[in-house]
Amino acid sequence: MRQQARMAIFFLLIAIPFATVMADDYQDTIKIFKGAGESGRFFDTAYGYALFPTIGKAGIGLGGAYGKGQVFVGGQQTGNTSVTQVTLGFQLGGQAYSQVIFFQDKRAYEEFTGGNFEFGAQATAVAITAGASAAATTTGSSAGASGGKHDANTVGNYHKGMAVFTVAKGGLMYEATIGGQKFEFTPK
């Protein structure tokens, strides 16, 4: 077990540089999600959203993920956020992905920004996949996405006031895991 923990930490350290974010990354990530089919309509109707341009993820048996993001309401940044994730189960590899969480209303926004918010293992995300014949897949909160960022199709709805979409940026990860995501929010 110690060997697996060391390897998971090693892969996470390799993936963390993927989580470094520059200002342009936010605008580029918004363009990707706006152009990815149904996820684009959420920008016009959602109360607000949290955007993570890059989340780095890695694991061998025991895994983890980390990323930094920003929270927006009415197109204006209201604060910064970070996500950490721990997973347990069959997994091997490393991956980087983008994630957006839309808030249907003020209540959902306040729930997310009210302190330390968590998605449990039962939370779902729509993984945007590439290709004309690609279908969106709903995955666990581990947010495993298998496609690219171009020519994507999506299908998603709010669940308990939030809708989550992910798109893979690179890497390769095999997994069948249980885990949850924990978010921290710092007002601007």
pLDDT tens-digit series, residues 153-188: 445 688 889 999 988 888 877 777 777 889 999 998
Task: List the one residue out of 54, 58, 44, 45 whose CA is nearest residue 12.
Answer: 58
Q: How far apart are CA 135 and CA 84, in angstroms?
A: 28
Cβ atoms of residues 124 and 144 within 8 Å: no
Least confident of 52-56, 69-73, 85-89, 149-153: 149-153
What does pTM read for this prediction?
Answer: 0.75
Q: How far apart are CA 168 and CA 134, in angstroms?
A: 14
Quote the DSSP letter at residue 182: E
The residue extents of the domains of the chain are 2-187
Mean pLDDT estimate for the chain: 77
Tens-place pLDDT, residues 119-142: 865 555 666 654 322 333 333 433
Q: How far apart are CA 79 and CA 58, in angstroms?
A: 27
Q: How far apart are CA 129 and CA 152, in angstroms?
A: 5
**Which of residues 91 and 151 earns the better pLDDT score?**
91
Query: Residue 46 corresponds to which amino acid?
Result: A
pLDDT of residue 107: 96
| Residues near 44 by beta carbon (within 8 Å), at least 6 away in sequence | none
Give ∠ CA 170-174-175 in degrees, rounded to 5: 120
In which residue are the tokens 């993570």 written?
52
pLDDT of residue 142: 37
Helices (H) and strands (E) in the chain, counts: 4, 7
pLDDT of residue 143: 38
User: In the predicted model, what is the mean pLDDT of residues 32-53?
Assistant: 91
pLDDT of residue 25: 87
